[in-house]
């Protein structure tokens, strides 16, 4: 069987080198600038987006629960008097960042809630 000249000798070597170079360039461009990503990286981005959405949805509810609690004005003064890095713990201990179905408070929601409350006048 006669092979075409392109698949004989040096031509075959050049063809394989070109295919390998083309593959390498495609992979570099695809992952570098084309937006391709591995499944694990996509899952990580999805998890971050979901967590951000949960915090954005629940933090205002937490602040509302805080404001409707007994003795809210005095508790708000106590929250503002607390060091900023301890305010999320204050909200967690108060139970405002614990939602139905959750066994424990959501730390990220507590942090966002404390920021909302401490920014109030």
Residues 115 and 88: beta-carbon distance below 8 Å: no
* Distance in angstroms (rounded) separating the CA atoms of residues 114 and 116: 5
Residue 1 has pLDDT above 70, yes or no: no
Residue 7 has pLDDT above 70, yes or no: no
Count of C-beta atoms within a 10 Å radius of residue 37 = 13
Q: Which pLDDT score is estimated for 104?
A: 93
Q: Which pLDDT score is estimated for 6?
A: 64
pLDDT in tens, 61-113: 999 999 999 899 999 999 999 999 999 999 999 999 999 998 999 999 999 99
Q: Which pLDDT score is estimated for 120?
A: 82
Q: Which pLDDT score is estimated for 116?
A: 95
């Amino acid at each position: 069987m006669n092979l075409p000249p392109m698949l004989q000798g040096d031509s075959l070597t050049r063809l394989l080198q070109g295919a390998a170079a083309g593959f390498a360039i495609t992979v570099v461009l695809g992952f570098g600038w084309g937006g391709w990503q591995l499944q694990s990286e996509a899952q990580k981005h999805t998890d971050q987006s979901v967590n951000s959405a949960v915090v954005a949805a629940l933090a205002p509810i937490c602040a509302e629960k805080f404001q409707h609690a007994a003795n809210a004005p005095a508790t708000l003064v106590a929250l503002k008097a607390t060091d900023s890095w301890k305010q999320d713990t204050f909200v967690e201990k108060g139970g405002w960042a614990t939602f139905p179905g959750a066994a424990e408070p959501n730390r990220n929601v507590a942090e966002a809630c404390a920021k909302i409350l401490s920014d109030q006048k």
